[in-house]
Chain A
């Protein structure tokens, strides 16, 4: 037994040596290269600003034509896409949760929302962050959050007013950056948050802020949001705030998509109508001119001067719309062989800025709001004629001063549809008219047929309990 104990001591000693030889927790510490660990990512105000920049970056990747193409395909503006399976699925209103293009769009909107929430939740990580910077960062972040939620709820949910109390399902509402997934909030809840965030931005941002969120940009979006809420007075007020600010002017010509070059930087080419838009093209960085393409989805899908078969072409209905009065200069946006009506609006443009909220739209929005709320029609008529003068020539196709509200509304709607061709805004009109009880159809199917809403991506259903949109039924 003594020998045994002695042996055991040997063993213990040797085992101890073994532990000493190899035991070191530091040997288990490896960190990924070429990335920043989350705990080290945000320490300064500059980090927050870069994070905020990435919000705009995502937004630019969404509004470079991606969102606009999808929205256009859900209306009667567009013919069947040339070959894109996903675009065809959208046009047929039969997207499903495997449709990657719409799934990617949905996902990217939430990327921006998440990043906005991270900024808002990270102020305490930065020592000495001054109140003004903090307020600006929060206001810009909430602007991005609101805009993204709004695009989501417009395309993935039935519109405001679809139910009396708007208790119908909207989209997941994310106001924090915590991990657990969220179910779909009601449309009422989503809109309430959108308005609250935009009001916060409006109150806490300067009127102008270059290509970034500004008080006027918030008002511009609020005009659209309230219009969808059928709150005509609020919509009119917000539109008037922007129009009346004098900061923006209607462009003299019909081209709002300003194209730059490596010698003409995108930031210097913001169209005077643009209240909020995307900068796409060349930027000056450390003395160099760098390209950052944020217009590719417009260019690659619409352009016909360098593409025999573009995906996006106008419908017969749009072609006919311009046949009624061929003096309309906007008719030049169509190159038709009577079978295919190609879009020329972006011909010759490679990298260009994208106006999202613009003065033309707000003038017409105001006109429609006035026509709906019984306000001063002369303002509305002036708004419409300002647009018509540009399209047809001064006083060539003006709305008469005595036009009634119905005529004004119809004219404003027509101009709005024409002016926003390819921009995706007509989808708002379709849904609004539908929810207001008008006889609204898209390619012969009721505006709210199952399938008129984009289907959520498959990944949204990976947490139990998520409710998908109804599919099919529009063909």
Chain B
């Protein structure tokens, strides 16, 4: 900061001094995007004369006549040298476009509780800047990390507005405890609960949705133990540090806006009425039925042939495309305005934004309004006050999705012969009129629920409102040279309220509606105190020490109010609310805290040998006194080989090797899992009028951290003067005492128990390459990252695979297989003679018997390889950026296929079912159609055909983003000039190459809990596909 200020001050002085210059060199310095670069240094002849560029990137360097070597430099950019020849009295203009330095050894990287020069970093850290985040338009900022960093697997959720992503850093290392990385915003570990409302409406709340991506300066992803060790008990699944923008010298206004629309990246191919009836009739006849088949919603099997025939004919009169009724075009637009201002003793960043993100699901949108103020004040040289505060509100206009309704209904129980609106009058059993022509046609699904996706969408009111404020105040003292003492206090407030009103029009026989409000509050306080000291031990060695402590407490509260009979939307009408009789249920508060002591020592020798040790002691309220505190050390070292005097290579311009070992932990489990508890209810649960007392949960006083021991080694190389840079890393992470919420035999008196049970291995390699393929006027840069992770659940104690399951997703814990393995009956083929499905038992023998005891590992949702490739082309003021992401080797369990492509039921089916067996000799993908699940060997009444037939290859290559931009360096002159304007057009998810026959090979469905989230990646169940979005945007600063 001091350096920056002095540069700017020097520049300003020089600017003043050169107003009367006689001759010399002038021009504009821009970056690779054509953006002006203030503060760049222009030196002539080895430092004899120098100036810095102004806020517009302009410079004016006085030079005498003669031959000069002029160097242009800026931190993080490659130094450029130009030969200039001036005659007497001559002035020349020389514009320079800087290119970023791939190695950026002097760049500053944010690490835990501090910053470090990139050169000194001994851990594995991926840095992503604000441009990379804002360049891809996503429902939530974290989705923009996809494909940007090796070893960071980002799977964007469904196309539902506001949906989050699933991020895994170097694989899955947890089973029942949350496996997400720790998110830290400006030093505060933030609330990241995805299950405040469970999976209500087939959607998990996204705790990151209210963060404005335009506020983010950079994101650092800490991957190995050397980097995450300082976060000790919470670093096992990686740490994502989010640094927001702060003020800078001068005054800069930033404005950006975009508008666009979106459609689904793919659409389901459901049968039309004629197809469905034909197949249903075929199934009926295959089963021995005669006459016309009975039709769900119209007739039953016991009806007379005449009745069935008439219903069949009636059904043919309607052909509703329910998918079309639920899917449309999402409109989106956003506006963001920020100001950066800085001076000698203060600087400030203030930003506001509005984002309205409509999804392609009709009626669904997510609106975010946010504001942030980050201010720094330095009243005296030895003290600095830093304040960060954000306030945001997210309003999610909800719709039912997936299994909850909407498009999910269109893909399942909404049969094509059901009309949207009635064309006749419906009478009740007592002869009263229940519905008139033009009313919604309401049908019942197999569970007895009243359905009609259009009626529900148009009539139901469902709004989730999140208010979020993340605040931090720090005081930094500098009592002596190189000693910094920092005290911080943070407060993260989250309030999520969900209001639902179901009007009577979506019930078959009711004159009243019902309403519910669910409110959840999470209050998260954080205090930390650190002391940071750097000293020169000798001329060639320095020592940096950091010591600190931290305390964090999180309180969660909530309540629900249910209104059984209301006449209107009570939450939008105070008069209705006043007379409504609500039943309030107050959730038990939940609290937890962490108390931590930590230290870090960095030793640097000759500016090329780097050593680091970290240690952290964490105490957590989630553990009993037996195992309350955990110790998490790490050791690491780095060696910049290319700085050795003996190192000479014409090819290799940079070489750095580093290695680390460390221990990290995970304590992300429910707050009171360790307690044995009893209940003595006073809510009327009595037997014979007598009070009762009974156990709720078994105690486990020995519940402790799950710990990961990680070894990491990497080598960074630069070739041909860093024209090509690479980083190759290897890691081996062994996670032990992994926490499982084990399903216990009922004979123990309980059905589940939290325990440290499993061992998980994650081992992998990561490769990053950045290549400047073409330089000059036409530039082409390619960045590739690639990661291979091997995941194995090595041990689950004396338990069986069914001990832990991923919700309803048929994923189990199978020793020797990855976390997230599918445990199903293996399908072999369709018998060409009988048309029956042939299965394989565990021994591999073919059988017609479907037997759950023969379930086995049939694939997993973890990819063998993931990565991304970004190609950037620049020509003059134009730039074109293409980001492709890929995943190879993962399977996807298309769980809804078991109904869409299985037994013919009251679900509509997909057109793939047309490839079914029809007569002896047929070689078909799907067996003979049947209405009787026992035909396939299933228990009667259970048409849930869970077989490997629906486990598909989920490999894909996706053009994630394509952006074309044009930069206008300057509009206008003088004080009110707009220094640069960039307009861009982008497409997200333009195309996907995949063999997956379902909707979207990249899927994150709704999960029931953290365990499900860990265990069921790549399971889809009527999950809406991602959107394909087209956006026009403009960014400007002035």
Residues in chain A within 8 A of chain B (CB atoms): 3-4, 7-8, 10-11, 14-15, 17-19, 21-25, 27-39, 41-42, 47, 49-51, 53-54, 56-57, 60, 85, 88-89, 92, 94, 96-99, 106-107, 110-111, 113-115, 117-118, 171-172, 174, 177, 179-182, 210-211, 266-267, 279, 283-285, 290, 292, 294, 457-464, 466, 468, 471-472, 475
Contacts and interface: CB of A to CB of B under 8 A. Distances in A.
Contacts of B846: none
A99 B944 CA distance: 13
B301 interface: no
A179 B748 contact: yes
A97 B801 CA distance: 14
Contacts of B549: 18-19, 21-23
Interface in B81-100: none
B296 interface: no
B940 A41 contact: no
Contacts of A18: 529-531, 547-549, 597
B745 A50 contact: no
Contact of B485 (A14, A29, A92): A14
A38 B695 contact: yes
A117 B549 CA distance: 46
A31 B592 CA distance: 9
B553 interface: yes
B687 A33 contact: no
A11 B530 CA distance: 10
Contacts of A99: 939
Nearest to A284: B689
B532 to A, nearest CB: 9
B473 interface: no
A283 B689 CA distance: 5
Contact of B802 (A29, A88, A462): A462
A174 B747 contact: yes
Q: Give the interface residue-count category, chain B.
A: 35 or more
B547 A53 contact: no
A30 B692 contact: no
A459 B939 contact: no
Interface string B953-978: 00000000000000000000000000
A89 to B, nearest CB: 5
B753 interface: yes
B533 A285 contact: no
B678 interface: yes
Given A18-B530, A22-B550, A462-B799, A97 B852 contact: yes
B115 interface: no
Contacts of B751: 107, 459
Contacts of A177: 749
8 closest A-B pairs by beta carbon, nearest first, are A114-B749, A38-B676, A283-B689, A85-B941, A15-B547, A50-B693, A172-B747, A41-B678
Contacts of A472: 849, 851
A7 B939 contact: no
B597 A19 contact: yes
B646 interface: no
A132 B849 CA distance: 58
Interface in B176-231: none
B128 interface: no
B619 A28 contact: yes
A88 B940 contact: yes
Interface string B718-745: 0000000000000000000000001111
B790 interface: no
7 contacts: A7-B482, A28-B619, A37-B676, A460-B747, A462-B802, A464-B798, A472-B849
Contact of B687 (A11, A31, A57, A174): A57
Given A15-B599, A25-B619, A30-B593, A457 B690 contact: no
B852 A96 contact: yes
Contacts of A211: 688
Contacts of B852: 96-98
B391 interface: no
Nearest to A179: B748
A41 B595 contact: no
A171 B480 CA distance: 74
Nearest to B677: A35
Given A27-B551, A36-B677, A110 B939 contact: no
B527 A110 contact: no
B688 A7 contact: no
Contacts of A475: 934
Contacts of A115: 694-695, 749
B747 A182 contact: yes
A15 B600 CA distance: 12
Given A38-B675, A38-B676, A279-B688, A464 B592 contact: no
Contacts of A31: 672, 675
A41 to B, nearest CB: 4
Contacts of B535: 3-4, 7
Contact of B688 (A50, A267, A460, A461): A267
A29 B625 CA distance: 10
A17 B530 CA distance: 10
B746 A179 contact: no
A283 B698 CA distance: 31
Contacts of B746: 106-107, 110-111, 457, 459-460
B940 A22 contact: no
Contacts of A97: 852
B803 A462 contact: yes
A88 to B, nearest CB: 5
A226 to B, nearest CB: 25
B326 to A, nearest CB: 29
Contacts of A11: 483, 531, 533, 545, 547
A57 B685 contact: yes
Contacts of B547: 11, 14-15, 18
B591 interface: yes
Given A114-B749, A115-B694, A459-B743, A96 B939 contact: yes
- Specify which of A27, A30, A50, A458 lies most central, judged by the most chain B CB atoms within 10 Å of its CB: A30
A64 B535 CA distance: 78
Contacts of A285: 686, 689
B696 A35 contact: yes
Contacts of B686: 53, 57, 283, 285, 290, 292
A351 to B, nearest CB: 13
A439 to B, nearest CB: 27
B201 to A, nearest CB: 24
Contacts of B676: 37-39
A33 B749 contact: no
Contacts of B684: 290, 292
Nearest to A111: B749
A50 B689 CA distance: 11
B626 interface: no
Contacts of A113: 747, 749
A97 B689 CA distance: 36
A32 B588 contact: yes
Given A22-B529, A38-B678, A47-B693, A7 B687 contact: no
A348 B853 CA distance: 44
B525 to A, nearest CB: 11
A457 B588 CA distance: 31
Nearest to A282: B689
A72 B343 CA distance: 86
A290 B689 contact: yes
Given A32-B675, A37-B678, A181-B745, 17 more contacts: A18-B547, A25-B628, A30-B621, A35-B588, A35-B677, A50-B692, A53-B687, A57-B687, A92-B940, A115-B694, A267-B689, A285-B686, A458-B802, A460-B745, A462-B744, A463-B798, A464-B798
Given A27-B593, A35-B678, A21 B747 contact: no
Interface string B473-504: 00000001011010000000000000000000
A182 B749 CA distance: 11
Contacts of A33: 588-589
B699 interface: yes
